[in-house]
Amino acid sequence: MTNTISLVFSSVVLLSLCPVTAARPQSSNVATEVAMLTPLEAEASDWFGGDLAIDGDTLVVGAVGDDAFQGAAYVFVDDGAGWTEQAKLAPVNTPYAYFGGQLALDADTIAVGAPNTGANGTAFVFTRDGDTWTQQAALTDETAGSYGGSVALSGDTLLVSSLFPPRVHVYIRNDSVWVLQHEITLAEGATQISPAVALDGNTALIGTQVWNGPPLAWPSGSVLVYERTGASWDPAGVLESGSSLDGFGHPLVVDGDTAVVGAMGDDSTTMFGGAAYVFRRTDSSWALEARLTSPAPQFAEYFGSGVDIDGDTLIVGARGSQAACAPDVSCSAGGGYLYERSGSSWSLTDTLVSLAPESFLLGSTVGLDADRVLLGSHMIDAGGKNNSGAVHAYQISNALVAAQHDVSLSAGGTLEHELAAGSTLAEHIYMMLGTASGTSPGTPLGSFVLPLNIDGYFLASMSSPIWTGGAGFLSGSGTAQAQLGVPAGSDPSLAGLTLHHAFAVLDPITLAPEFASNPVALALQP
């Protein structure tokens, strides 16, 4: 089988040297589920995971149904050994406050929306000192209704939205006091749903939606962009999907010059299949960079139910995904899709599902920071408790990991390599390849770039007996193991040379290249 696969790869590589389309690097990011988080005081109907926010090693999760819908927010920290609960935040004697329905987190500050608190609604602010969280502020507006319907936080700036009337308050923190800096009032009838807000530095997004279609139709929406200059916030553009009745406008997120907006009611691929729109700012103008939909659209998948971005990595929730369902069985297990950007091109790198058999509506909310991904599943019956909810934690890692990065030519050795291409490439053809001449510019492989330069070692690696498990079919989870054997007493003149290895994946039916992993280095020592 290995010889056959080698011939296949040889043919594919040779054909790829004259690509018909511009090659692009394929991301090597894959995500592995590491934990399912539930609160220590979990009860039925908590709806834990209805909203969440992550910053670094800190996570806050809303449980709006806690204590008869008074609500709560739970803080977790990841100490490197796993996530542990640090605190429970909750109001006092405020039934049906819906505390925790909207959350924002930045470093040691958490903002919590509680739109049903009292007659007007409240946005609470908490700060951390060591491991202790204390309330810093309770902000309200006596002229508003559903105040705290959405919150966003960036440094010492806080956005709080209300629905009656539709407006957004901008607060700034001076020492420990929050002061109203600006009020953004939306036009009458601009939105019939509490405005969604997102914030990064001096850029604010305000999502608006109106019900202007037939019964049971999704609302139409747009996103207003505001920029701060000094203490003034001014309109700086409008983001639109170009469609209507698609739910565009919520959820939304902004990170630097990139904004992502979900439209989970979009039906361009299938009814309620959903979509996510990526916009990018150049100078002061925003333009659509990508429109993403499910790679295998399903009825009521609701792709775009959650969105979050960190740099060039994006997670999109799809709460109705059936990717984890048994064959020929319809379910709403839910899931998420991980993307990575190269230039202006977005590539799907992994499909996230849950290992929990009771998974339900996973991806209703999402969070992403560096190599941590969180997917909320607020109606899962965790621990046998009806609708108690859970948050599934994932870790992003490279597709190819080597156990060591140097080897003695005189002593030789066997070097272990772990391959993980993601569940979307389960049972596809893979092959390990190598180069002695570096990783740039790499080798075109269909529409991807394999980060290995072609040389004599590259060609020899296609049929070299030094690999055990160097070619074959990925497992049902998209993984494999390969061992590189370096014979003892190898040519000492090779000392000082650095080899690089990577693996490529082909579709088992069409033989189309589908993945190119990250390279790993191997230094040859005397």
Do residues 353 and 363 touch, judged by C-beta distance below 8 A? Answer: no
pLDDT in tens, 372-424: 999 999 999 998 899 999 999 999 988 899 999 999 999 999 999 999 887 77
pLDDT in tens, 311-346: 999 999 999 998 877 677 667 889 999 998 878 888
Do residues 33 and 393 touch, judged by C-beta distance below 8 A? Answer: yes
Which pLDDT does position 6 carry in this prediction? Answer: 57
- The C-alpha angle 269, 272, 273, rounded to 5 degrees, equals 45
Bridge partners for 162 per DSSP: 167
Second CATH level (architecture) for the domain 29-398: 7 Propeller (2.130)
Rounded to whole angstroms, the Cα distance separating 298 from 321 reads 7
pLDDT in tens, 258-267: 999 999 999 9
pLDDT in tens, 52-99: 999 999 999 999 999 999 999 999 999 988 999 999 999 988 999 999
pLDDT band at 26 (very low <50, low <70, confident <90, very high): very low
476 or 8, which is more confident? 476
CA separation, residue 253 to residues 250, 272, 343 (Å):
9, 21, 20
123 or 476, which is more confident? 123
pLDDT in tens, 33-58: 899 999 999 999 999 999 999 999 99
Query: Per the confidence metrics, is the pTM higher than 0.95?
Result: no
Residue ranges of domains in the chain:
2-26+400-525, 29-398
Rounded to whole angstroms, the Cα distance separating 265 from 180 reads 35
CA separation, residue 67 to residues 72, 99, 324 (Å):
8, 10, 32
Average pLDDT of the chain? Answer: 90
Nearest alpha-carbon partner for 76 in 84, 67, 68, 66: 84
Helices of type H across 48-119: 66-69
Cis peptide bond prior to 95, omega within 30° of 0: no
Q: Which CATH number is correct for 2-26+400-525, 2.60.40.10, 1.10.510.10, 3.40.50.300, 3.40.250.10?
A: 2.60.40.10
358 or 85, which is more confident? 85
